[in-house]
Structure 1
Amino acid sequence: MDNNEQALVTDELAAIPLDHNWYQKLASNFDIIQQYLDKLDTDELELDDLKNKFDDISGKMNVYDTNMQAIVNILTKYDVPIAIVDGKVVDTTKEGE
């Protein structure tokens, strides 16, 4: 536990009388828990943001791949010896030709 973290009052129910002080400690539990809930909400927002960025990049990569395939198809119609192999444009002429 960090020095900044506070401990929850959970195991003192049988040890102390249920007076106003105990109720204040119990209420402080909700403040402590709320801090962690707020952090979870922030973490989820960050994950959503990362997912959106990933989806955007994936979409751009699909456009890139589609465009590259279109270029290769056009050049192949003009007998340019190229193809896409393992995601790379390669010369398809054989050595010695």
Structure 2
Amino acid sequence: MMDNNKQNLTTDELSTIPLDHNWYQKLAVNFEIIQRYLDKIDADDLKNKFDDMSEQLNVCETNTQAIVNILSNYDVPIQIVNGKVVDTEEGK
């Protein structure tokens, strides 16, 4: 989501000004800006997207393992190592 009234956070300025009322005011404005964006986040939508991606990843991993198993049955020197399909030397 893009906000046409985008307001930048105060970042580098906070380290150069003394810890006075102005510093606290700038810090509070930062939290107000962040809160507006947090309020726009739809947690249910994010959870659904995460669940969908997790399911797709599981399907992909299952399919990859099935392919490796089939190839191994035909004596193709292949296996999964650290989540990657790799060639192996004959006899290993």
- Please state which band the TM-score falls in when normalised by the shorter chain: 0.5 to 0.7
Q: Which residue of 1 aligns with 2:48?
A: 52
RMSD (CA atoms): 2.2
CA distance in 2, matches of 1:47, 1:86: 32
1:32-51 pair list within 5 angstroms: 43=41, 46-51=42-47
Larger radius of gyration: 1
Q: Which residue of 2 aligns with 1:71?
A: 67
Q: Which residue of 2 aligns with 1:93?
A: 89
Length-normalised TM-score, structure 2 = 0.53
Give the superposition deviation at 1:48.
1.0
Residue correspondences, number: 56
CA distance in 2, matches of 1:50, 1:92: 40
Cα deviation, 1:32-79, whole Å, max 9, x if unaligned, reads: xxxxxxx95x64xx1110011000000000000000000000000000
Unaligned runs of 5+ in 2: 1-27, 30-37
Identity %, equivalent residues: 62
Give the superposition deviation at 1:93.
1.0
Length-normalised TM-score, structure 1 = 0.51
CA distance in 1, matches of 2:63, 2:49: 21
Unaligned runs of 5+ in 1: 3-38
Secondary structure of the corresponding residue to residue 80 of structure 1: coil
| Correspondence for 2:78 among 75, 82, 92 | 82
Amino acid at match of 1:62: N
